[in-house]
A = this chain, B = another copy of it.
Amino acid sequence: MRILLDVMSGDRPPHELVEGGVRAGRRQRVDILFAGDPDIITSALAAAKMKTGSQFDILPCQQVIGMEDAPVRAVREKHDSSMVRGLLSLRDSEVDAFVSSGNTGAVVAGSIFNLGRIAGIPRPGLMVALPTLSGRDTLVIDIGANSDCQADHLLHFALMGATYARDVMRISHPQIGLLNIGTESGKGNRLASEAHHLLESANLPFAGNVEAHHLITDRPVDVVVCDGFVGNVFLKATEGGIAAVTTIMRRRIHRHALAKLGALFLSKTFGTIRKTLSYQRRGGAPLLGVNGSVVIAHGRSDAMAIESAIDVARREVEAGLVERFAHGLSGWSSDGS
């Protein structure tokens, strides 16, 4: 298996991303094609005591799509960017998957333009595996690929999420929930009410509405569907709540003698919190519904996070997810669960 890694578009320096690719190559037995400035990549490989060859190769490109670039315009104009060249390389089957920690909107737009949507799926959805207190992740889709979803889009997110849960995460009977502002079926806005109706009528293990404060603490379902704007706010608000508590803790450590006594305890606890809750450090978000395995890692991804994102891409390819989606999703629960 060969995975393309865009090393130019993230917030962190390219050599860190190359390092993540090298680690993944060694541990996961995958080949990596690095897209970006060949000089930077060559020297980063040398620093890791690696050379180009069959396992690690370079797709040289001169342009970079930045975080501030307007997505649609950037992917239309920057033909020699690591992102566009990488996606074309996936389209042309030179690689099996594409991983980038770049501008999310640009990866989404670039994937739609260059790979196209899978027939029958109206909109691709960006999915995250959110860590929960149970120790098991819950899948949330869409977290920002689409900002004005219709009920039919949410239904397809549910079908894709359930298939992913079953085939990639090996959850035999995945339960689907709809993110809403109350548990009763009549709750929510127009979209939630229409989507609830569609999900109930579909051939799916739909468990009803779930509320935002229960997702991490109680993990009521395996897959949660929502509009991309709402999903993005949900994810960032959760992050803000976690950051607020850990910031208060850190401030107290610095200010109080008593707190310093607990420092060893605390450093372990912080480690646990990071490990348990930090979705940024744990892989990337698969963009489901386009013709190819695309994984978007957090912009701040370091080598460890990139290694993890490559793992997400590898597992998706091994499960043959794109082919499954292309064969149709409508008979989901009858042919699978």
Interface of A is mostly: helix
CA distance A256 to B215 in the complex (A): 26
CA distance A41 to B240 in the complex (A): 41
On whether the beta carbons of A242 and B245 are closer than 8 Å, the reply is yes
Task: Write out the residue numbers on chain B whose beta carbons fall within 8 Å of the beta carbon of A213.
Answer: 236-237, 239-240, 243
Complex: chain B residue closest to A229, CB-CB? B189
When A192-B229, A241-B242, A264-B258 are in contact, do A247 and B217 touch as well, CB less than 8 Å?
A: yes
Per-position 1/0 for A234-257, Cβ under 8 A of B = 111111111111111100100010
Tier of interface size on chain A: 35 or more
Q: Does A148 contact B (CB under 8 A)?
A: yes
Within residues 174 to 194 of chain A, which ones have a CB less than 8 A from any CB in chain B?
A: 179, 181, 184, 186, 188-190, 192
Complex: chain B residue closest to A144, CB-CB? B181
When A215-B240, A229-B189, A237-B213 are in contact, do A133 and B247 touch as well, CB less than 8 Å?
A: yes
CA distance A230 to B232 in the complex (A): 10
Q: Does A212 contact B (CB under 8 A)?
A: yes
On whether the beta carbons of B240 and A239 are closer than 8 Å, the reply is no
Task: Write out the residue numbers on chain B whose beta carbons fall within 8 Å of the beta carbon of A277.
Answer: 241, 244-245, 248
Q: Does A266 contact B (CB under 8 A)?
A: yes
CA distance A246 to B241 in the complex (A): 11
Task: Write out the residue numbers on chain B whose beta carbons fall within 8 Å of the beta carbon of A150.
Answer: none
How far, in Å, is A189 (CB) from chain B's closest CB?
4
On whether the beta carbons of B252 and A256 are closer than 8 Å, the reply is no
Q: Does A336 contact B (CB under 8 A)?
A: no
Complex: chain B residue closest to A147, CB-CB? B189
On whether the beta carbons of B233 and A212 are closer than 8 Å, the reply is yes
A–B pairs, 16, beta carbons within 8 Å: A147-B181, A147-B189, A189-B227, A215-B237, A215-B240, A216-B240, A233-B233, A233-B237, A234-B237, A237-B238, A238-B240, A241-B241, A241-B242, A241-B245, A241-B277, A245-B246
